[in-house]
Amino acid sequence: MPDVLAAIRPDSVNLPLFLHVLGAMVLVGALFAVGLATMLGRRSPDGAPRLARFSLKALLLGALPAYVVMRVGAQWTEAEQDYPDDFEASWIDIGYIVADIGALLLLISVVLAAIGLRRSRDDASKSVRLARIVAGISVLLLAAFLVAVWAMTAKPT
Amino acid sequence: MDLYDWLLFLHVLGAFVAVGALTALWGLILGTRGTAPLFDPPSALRFGRISGILVGVGMVAALVFGIWLAIDLDAYELWNGWILASLVLWAIGGWAGGQAGKAFESDPVANRATGIRFQAINSVAVLVILVLMLWKPGA
């Protein structure tokens, strides 16, 4: 029954679902950019401070707004779907758990990124270590969002 | 998980990889503008190559598993208007993405404007495909 209910999609769901999916895709892209730029910084010691600045900016200006769009889209989609009060689906629970843990990790990353960018104004190399921590968290988030994509598409009961 | 679940997961995962890598490429474009770029040339080249390959891999995966889904499901046919339009847009987007890669690889400074134009065409095509996949006009 939950599968059947989830498969029925009123037209009013399309726009919020579009925002949810697009936000999630851009979020994944921004986190990937953070991780890749930091990894390349390890291979290019001279360029590492600037790549660290890129990573921290990508998190603040890319991942954070994308997360907000994804999360607002998710809540709006669920509201428009108008499931019955007794509707329970583990794939929605998985989505919320991943989103909430993701929010916490993203918040930690945002604080570290803000500190890193502030420090890098005086000396660009000071942000490298913080960018590496942020990149590590980004890779963790990417793994968690892979689980969320699986749950949203496979809809396990 | 049955076959449909796997196909849908892999189709959507391919789309996530493609759009995610496109997003990263836009980050690269923004990070290499101006007189004090955030990328040194070798890092920019590696970043662009890895992301470009992922755009291609994601687009191919989305196409292959999408066609398989359309064949597997009775509700949809490959000749449905929204699916045909998506296939045409996929071809345009793939061509534009390839041209963008060539432009940036041959001379990232002189061909920057051309590369950005092709990258924009690819991105718009992918965005419209996403709209078609969700709204499914005529289905």
- Residue-wise pLDDT for A68-118, tens only, equals 999 999 999 999 988 887 787 889 899 999 999 999 999 999 999 999 988
What chain A residue is nearest to B6 in terms of C-alpha separation? A154
Q: Which residue has the higher pLDDT, A32 or A11?
A: A32
Tell me: pLDDT of A132 over 50.
yes
In a domain, A95, yes or no: no
Domain hosting residue A79, numbered range: 12-83+102-154
Residue A93 lies in a domain: no
Chain A residues with CB under 8 Å of B50 CB are 36
**pLDDT for position A1:** 45
Question: How many CB atoms neighbour CB B88 within 10 A?
Answer: 12
Contact call for A51 and B19, based on CB within 8 A: no
Residues making up chain B, counted from first to last: 139
The backbone region for B138, taken as left when phi is positive above 0, alpha when psi lies in -120 to 50, beta otherwise, is: left
> Is A88 part of a structural domain of the chain?
no
pLDDT reported for residue A9? 74
Nearest CB among B6, B31, B43 relative to A44 is that of B43
Asked which of A48-57, A76-85, B3-12 is least confident by mean pLDDT, the reply is A76-85
A94 within some domain: no
- For residue A115, tell me if it sits in a domain: yes
Please count the structural domains in chain A.
1
The pLDDT value recorded for residue A30 is 98
* Interchain proximity B24–A30, CB inside 8 Å: yes
Domain count, chain B: 1
Residue A48 lies in a domain: yes
Q: Does pLDDT of A7 surpass 60?
A: no
Question: What is the average per-residue pLDDT within A130-141?
Answer: 94
Per-residue pLDDT at B45 = 95
The percent of residues in chain B predicted with pLDDT above 70, rounded, is 100
**Residue A20 forms contact with B (CB below 8 Å):** no
As a whole number of angstroms, the distance between CA B114 and CA B22 comes to 16
Using the beta-carbon criterion (under 8 Å), do A46 and B19 form an inter-chain contact?
Answer: no
The parent domain of residue B69 ranges over 3-135
The conformation of residue A62, written as its DSSP 8-state character, comes to I
Please indicate, yes or no, if residue A146 is contained in any of the structural domains.
yes
